[in-house]
Structure 1
Amino acid sequence: MYITLSQISVQTPSRRQLFDNLTLSVGSERVGIVGRNGSGKSTLLRVIAGLVKPNSGSVTATGSIGLLKQDIPADWTAAHALGIAEEHAVLSRVIAGHGTGDDLENADWDLSARIDAALATCGLTDVSLERKIESFSGGERTRIGIARLMIEAHDFVLLDEPTNNLDRAGRDAVIDLVLNWHGGVIVASHDRALLESVDRIVALAPQSVRNFGGGWSEFEAARAEERERLAGEADRANAAAKSARREAQSRLENQAKRDKAGRATAAKGSDPKILLNKRAETAEKTTARGKALGDRAIVEADAKRKEAQSKVEIVTPLSIELPASDIPSGAQLVQLDQVEAAVGNRRLGPWTMRIDGPERVELRGANGSGKTTLLRIIAGFGSPAAGKVERAEGRIAMLDQHIGLLDPSKSVLENLRDHHPDLDNEAAHAACARFAFRNIEADRIVGSLSGGERLRAGLAVAFSALNPPWMLILDEPTNHLDIESLEVLESALRDHDGALLVVSHDVSFIERVGFDRIIEL
């Protein structure tokens, strides 16, 4: 039982190369796929599943393959989403006494037990199979997709960011699925806790496709070692370039001294003129040859220096620094007293809480518990159905999962100017540059940005006010980030002096940023 990819090459419709000459074999093992947004992780899974034809190369599989379905149509029923609508209808007719002879012959008497077991494993109980998908949350839809894979029991399963939108229980269910699957698993993910469960990691990049044995910890150690090695090579290349310049200069200076001594000898007139002319000609040739050698050595050393530096830049993540909030230690940021929210015909709450000073607060709760609704009320984007809310007006910023404060049809610079019209052009460009949108990068259209770039643009807008926010609210900020962007965010938040109120089911992110207390809904 295996999947073999042989010399696979794939380009985007715009002819951008995703990967070239990719060769990979997967057996009964767990393989993680990592790479920056746009590197082709999802495309690779779709190539393996037979949904995308590569530009060249071949895919061979000796077992059945199931791909986690993420885009389930809203008008489907749960039975359709689970892939058992027809089989369930047959069984229902037989049980009701309306079955035909073919129904009796084709009835799967174990189907109900398999459905119940799969749904229970995924944390879904008492689910009507006739319920429309549109009534399920994003996390519940992902669980249904996972349950389908369990019912179908393929030899290989392909998972594309399976923990997005899932609460901690859902993430644990995915990790259990990966660890206990009877066949092979290929998972593209930025979830480092999930990646700890794999046997090896394949890293996609435009220049290369590389294999690393072990899970995330081993990959992280290998990556750190590579960065250190490349930094050392860059240092040595810089030193060699400086040395080449010094040697060339020294060679020219020594030749100049010899030429000066020759001219002094010629001035005495003690040697024949023909000999003096020969010496002068030889000196000129020697000087020219020495300069050419020195120039060539400098060019070669500079080329090696630039190559080494470019390799360092590829593996070195961006770095951004959030402006200081200058929050007073005793400032009251928000106070809720018996606050309730109405969502459809549901009533959420009551919630009572208070956040003061530069606290770092993690807000926890299962899918559907009202976390996003509560964050919006705290930020002033929603009104409570009951209770009282006090907040530090104008000193709280919120970035939702989709960075909704940005207009996707406008550039980063235009968005920033729309929110902060008091900034002149120079100040607006400087604000963009602080978040790594330098020069023409600030003119990029938000709709064309990756998840990490969009988050940086959102932070640029949120933190460019004359008075920076005292508290930053983030709702599942890691959902659409690649690992490199995630690490940039972690570093910025870890060093920030302001208050944080964050909802995230990413355990690694929570641990690396560090929080003072947890509020559980």
Structure 2
Amino acid sequence: MNLPTTPAASLSCSALSFRWPDGTEVFDDLSVSVGRGRTGLVGTNGSGKSTLLRLLAGRLKPSAGSVSVGGRLAHLPQDLTLDTDLRVEDALGITERRTALRAIEAGDAAEAHFETVGDDWDVEERALATLGSLGLGGIGLDRTVGQLSGGETVLLRLAALLLERPDVLLLDEPTNNLDVFARRRLYEAVDSWRSGVLVVVSHDRDLLERVDRIADLRAGSVSWYGGGWSAYEEALATRQEAAGRMVRAAESDVRRQRRELEEARTKVARRQRHNKKMDSERRAPRIVAGAHKRSSQEAAGKLRGMHEDRLQDAQERLDTASEAIREDAEIRVRLPHTAVPAGRTVLSAHGLTPRFGTLRDGSLHVQGPERIALVGRNGAGKTTLLRTLTGELAPGCGEARTHVPLRFLPQRLDVLDDGLSVAANVARAAPGTTDNEIRAQLARFLFKGARAEQPAGTLSGGERFRAALAATMLATPAPQLLMLDEPTNNLDLASVRQLTSALGSYEGALIIAGHDLAFLESVGITRWLLVGEELTELGAEEVRELLGAPDAIV
């Protein structure tokens, strides 16, 4: 992805505002300038990352402000769709030039053919080279899009953008739905970007490690951090620690100011009672007593006002300090009944052939609190294997048996009834559990008080995931085998951290199908299985090579 760029490659927006047709405000007076190199744009679900990219790409019109792009811009959207009847050359946008080249090679010297080709005489070679760099060298230019996998389709669209030689490239969640092999190719492409402006929106930590800087979009503004994801997390932790100290100091000051205000009020009241008593004992004339009273009230008012001002100032400092504290709280649950003794058989499968996918005659034996990752290409049948192991799908042949209580969290998160509240969904999965017990546990999943009464159908993406996770993990009987299918797909990084912390409390056996290596490492995977024509156990070195990971797996 080493592309020639113009010196003018740049990207910025000034005083940008945007509202959806229903009046929902996304940005108000946002100004951002993105420098050359690789920038990772991060933020929670709903913060406006994809909307900002669409505004920068000209696919949305701002309510106010302006966008400035220097050079050619290309945009890979998250919701990519391509006509399945298109040929690869059509998707790459080179059909007319290939046709003209063939006509010229056949002796047709029509001027129109030369105009079509322009200076792009090597277009076919460049196209094949670009496809090859993304791992698509074997698909050729004449196959149809419908013959490609979802991951290959994403990479094909990226290849089409690269052939345009963009100066500014915007990628929105490019690793979604990519298998481990396609992700590795994308990582290599990002690694090779050396000039121009590249902005990538992603929750893929391995991808974000490869950028030069992180732009954190939060509450309608952008904060900048140098380096990749690890450097960002370290800097953020330092800032949060400092913000926490400021909050604690501000809270202490507020308490002190409240105490001093109360003491001042008590002192004023005592003085007023004393003056009133003295005037009464001296039988001071009414006009003198009135003057004493007014003077006393003025002094009391000044004293109270001074302390009230100090309290207000202290409260404002506390509010300002609190705004710097993130609410990306972690899930901390106690699940002692999920524990599985070491050596106990949890699941056994023999001669298993699912109805779909490539697996033939698979065998699997799971013991104790093992943590197993299923990895492999798109279409290998990881999801089908999980659904077969759960009993949701009947196998083509062979058998699978679970020996402990099992729960499965699918990609679709369809374990929730949208018409029921969060608490009612958990109660449905945990009959016999008291309402107080459910609410106490839901608070640990960050559904406190009235939030537990929200209908599932009104939840945001991150909230819905937490609710589905709660209904799965808090079910009765307590699940001693938990299966998760691509759990980090479409989750923001805060939600991924919450999932990681929740699984840290889980003491049962775990089987996860996924492509997110950083997440899989973080939950302590003990066995790696490659799903293909058979289940192949991988060693640490093989996983590193397969997934293009740093030497972090042990």
**Post-superposition shift, 1:407?**
4.7
SS across alignment from 1:348? coil
CA contact (8 A) 1:19 1:209 kept: no
Matches of 2:243 and 2:428, distance apart in 1: 42
- Worse-superposed segment, 46-55 or 122-131: 122-131
- The residue that corresponds to 1:480 in the other structure is 490
TM-score (norm 2): 0.83
**Post-superposition shift, 1:49?**
1.7
Per-residue deviation, residues 379-435 of structure 1 (Å, max 9, x unmatched): 222222122211136x21122222133355765456446555666766666665443
- The residue that corresponds to 1:84 in the other structure is 94
Amino acid aligned to 2:263: S
In the superposition, relative to structure 1, how do residues 288 and 51 fare at CA in structure 2: closer, same or farther (>3 Å)? Answer: closer
**Post-superposition shift, 1:224?**
1.2
Amino acid aligned to 1:143: L
- The residue that corresponds to 1:355 in the other structure is 366
In the alignment, structure 1 residue 186 sits paired with structure 2 residue 196: no
- The residue that corresponds to 1:371 in the other structure is 382
In the superposition, relative to structure 1, how do residues 143 and 457 fare at CA in structure 2: closer, same or farther (>3 Å)? Answer: same
- The residue that corresponds to 2:391 in the other structure is 380
In the alignment, structure 1 residue 36 sits paired with structure 2 residue 44: yes
In the alignment, structure 1 residue 309 sits paired with structure 2 residue 322: yes
Q: 2:235 aligns with which of 205, 219, 222?
A: 222
**Post-superposition shift, 1:29?**
1.4
Amino acid aligned to 1:141: T
Matches of 1:401 and 1:88, distance apart in 2: 41
**Post-superposition shift, 1:127?**
1.5
Amino acid aligned to 1:365: G
**Post-superposition shift, 1:102?**
5.6
Matches of 2:278 and 2:46, distance apart in 1: 71
Per-residue deviation, residues 124-158 of structure 1 (Å, max 9, x unmatched): 24325444434433222212122222323222211
- The residue that corresponds to 2:72 in the other structure is 64
- The residue that corresponds to 2:534 in the other structure is none
Q: 1:7 aligns with which of 5, 15, 18?
A: 15
Matches of 1:136 and 1:406, distance apart in 2: 33
- Worse-superposed segment, 356-365 or 272-281: 272-281
> What is the Cα-based RMSD across aligned positions, in Å?
3.1
In the alignment, structure 1 residue 18 sits paired with structure 2 residue 30: no
Q: 1:101 aligns with which of 96, 106, 110?
A: 110
Amino acid aligned to 1:64: R
TM-score (norm 1): 0.87
Query: What are the equivalent positions in structure 2 for 1:478-517 lying under 5 Å apart?
Result: 478-517=488-527
Structure 2 residue runs of 5 or longer lacking an equivalent are 1-7, 532-554
Amino acid aligned to 2:138: D
- Worse-superposed segment, 401-410 or 372-381: 401-410
Amino acid aligned to 2:82: I
CA contact (8 A) 2:261 2:307 kept: yes
- Worse-superposed segment, 108-117 or 481-490: 108-117
In the alignment, structure 1 residue 173 sits paired with structure 2 residue 181: no
**Post-superposition shift, 1:480?**
0.4
In the superposition, relative to structure 1, how do residues 229 and 102 fare at CA in structure 2: closer, same or farther (>3 Å)? Answer: same
Matches of 1:290 and 1:492, distance apart in 2: 51
Matches of 2:37 and 2:322, distance apart in 1: 37
- The residue that corresponds to 1:115 in the other structure is 127
Matches of 1:406 and 1:488, distance apart in 2: 19
Matches of 1:421 and 1:460, distance apart in 2: 14
- The residue that corresponds to 2:538 in the other structure is none
Query: What are the equivalent positions in structure 2 for 1:93-492 lying under 5 Å apart?
Result: 101=110, 105=114, 106=116, 109-181=121-193, 182-255=195-268, 273=284, 277=289, 282-312=295-325, 315-324=326-335, 325-329=337-341, 330-343=343-356, 347-392=358-403, 395-407=405-417, 412-413=422-423, 415-416=425-426, 419=429, 432-444=442-454, 446-492=456-502
CA contact (8 A) 2:358 2:380 kept: no
Aligned-pair identity (%)? 34
**Post-superposition shift, 1:300?**
4.0
Matches of 1:99 and 1:493, distance apart in 2: 67
In the superposition, relative to structure 1, how do residues 299 and 365 fare at CA in structure 2: closer, same or farther (>3 Å)? Answer: same
Structure 1 residue runs of 5 or longer lacking an equivalent are none
Matches of 1:387 and 1:125, distance apart in 2: 37
Matches of 2:333 and 2:221, distance apart in 1: 33
**Post-superposition shift, 1:188?**
0.9
**Post-superposition shift, 1:92?**
5.7
Amino acid aligned to 2:476: L
**Post-superposition shift, 1:366?**
2.4
Amino acid aligned to 1:297: R
SS across alignment from 2:447? coil
